[in-house]
A and B are shown apart, each in its own frame.
Chain A
Amino acid sequence: MIAGVLLAVCIVVPLLVPTYARAEPRLFGFPFFYWYQLAWVFICAALVTTAHRLVRQNEAREREELGLGSRDEANGGER
């Protein structure tokens, strides 16, 4: 599932310390090590949001198979 891959990227990549344990290139005075990790906050937010969308679609299908009915319309503003 694509959502799973997105989440896995989000968990694995920020933990690959050797890929970012260096000072250059700097950005606004921040060494690479520091700004790169802060940048991943935004990247992961985007990835998790996408995963959320995908999972909701998938789950509606899964629930139908188990005979639980669809929840999406009842959830109203919860999207």
Chain B
Amino acid sequence: MRAYDLVELAARNLRESGLRNSLTTLGIGVGVASLVAFLSLGIGLQEWANRQLGRSGLFDSVVVTSRQFRSPRFGGGNDSSPATPPKPLDDAARKSFAQMQEVVDVYSNFSAVGELRMAGTAPEDSHFTVVGGLPESARGSEAFDDVQGKFFSSAEAHEVVLMADFARTLLNLPEKELAAENKLTSDEANQLLGKEIIFRYPERQAQDVPPPPPPANGDPQSDSVPGVNIVRKVQTLKIVGIVNAEPYRGMRNGRTSAFLPIAFAESLNMMQPIDISSIMRPGQGKTYPALIVRVAKSKDVSHVEDEIKKQGFNTFSIMDASKNLTRFFRVLDTFLLVFGSLALAVAFLGIVNTLVMAILERRREIGIMKALGASDGDVKRIFFFEAGTMGMVGGSLGVALGWTIGRIINTLTNFYLQRQEMRTENFWVVPLWLVLFSLGFSVFVSLFAGLYPASRAARLDPVQALRHD
């Protein structure tokens, strides 16, 4: 039988019992829709999670700390090779990290204490607070999604980004219970943006003091030679932005109130808690409490981590946690696939039922066709084609329906998120492969469902089928 005859005969049969076939097709559609809806939710959530984590910088950075600060009993003991002695986390180390091929940026986890007050206010209005440094890559972090104002114009700019709660303090507004409610109105923000703020901070001035000769018998009685001098300095900064959440920069430092561009902050040579080590160990020079090594591709993170460990430092990255996350989503997707497939399994039975009913109904017709020269294969193909068509149409319907359901739920979710003044997100992703997979799966399941009815129809004895009623 020629293809167009097959199509015509099958189409005629499908039209003939239109209601029953439509309902069966609708059943397939609902099955596929549930599959598409579940899987697109799974995929969407996974992509959303990866996006969030990726933007946070968690997945492409390694935090490096010195082993000098670790007691061998409490940490670093298991992963550090005893052969490499603890090394100071200084500029030499920083340079060696930056030279690694996979590394795009190395910056310090800069944090210092200083005083801030608006220009033109009395010194009594100063606020004693913690100031952090932000690398250029923080520009893409989620904290800057709803920034009021903008990011720093350059890494050396004399500019500052304020945390919203501190901005409230500057404006003498009450601080809210929930961090999310601290966001300023645009009028309030405009009172600060572009204004100047005065920053007073302690500058660390290294002394060229040679390390004292080691005493013959243990610790010297008195070691009054200071390793550093500390001098008070002042800078005038311009407020360029206000953020509501603290951007990720390797480690959370608690309540940092303001951020400076990292290169500018480092150039100020501010006194930091870590400088105590310089006082204790004069001659060691400037060290960092922690360095954040940013890697171009997150797959290289563990390699970079190993290399840095070999140099004698402690490292931390979230890659291990991310592996578990990927596994979690794989399990979630499997569950969603199974639940989605359950509806399709019901649809499968629907197809079998419809086609078996069609055989009973078309018994005589099948007999006639065979008497006129239809082969078993012809009869089988007609039924198969009917099943496949229902699968194809049902599949298309299902994809459309699943997509629509996803859209609606996504819209409702975002409506809720907007009411909560949160950023809208896309939790439902229907990639092309999912569309093709669903269609293919639907046709496959339908053909599989048609297997038994088709072969039963083909086996039908024409003499029996044509016997007078």
Do A and B associate with each other?
no
- Report which A residues bind B (CB closer than 8 A): none
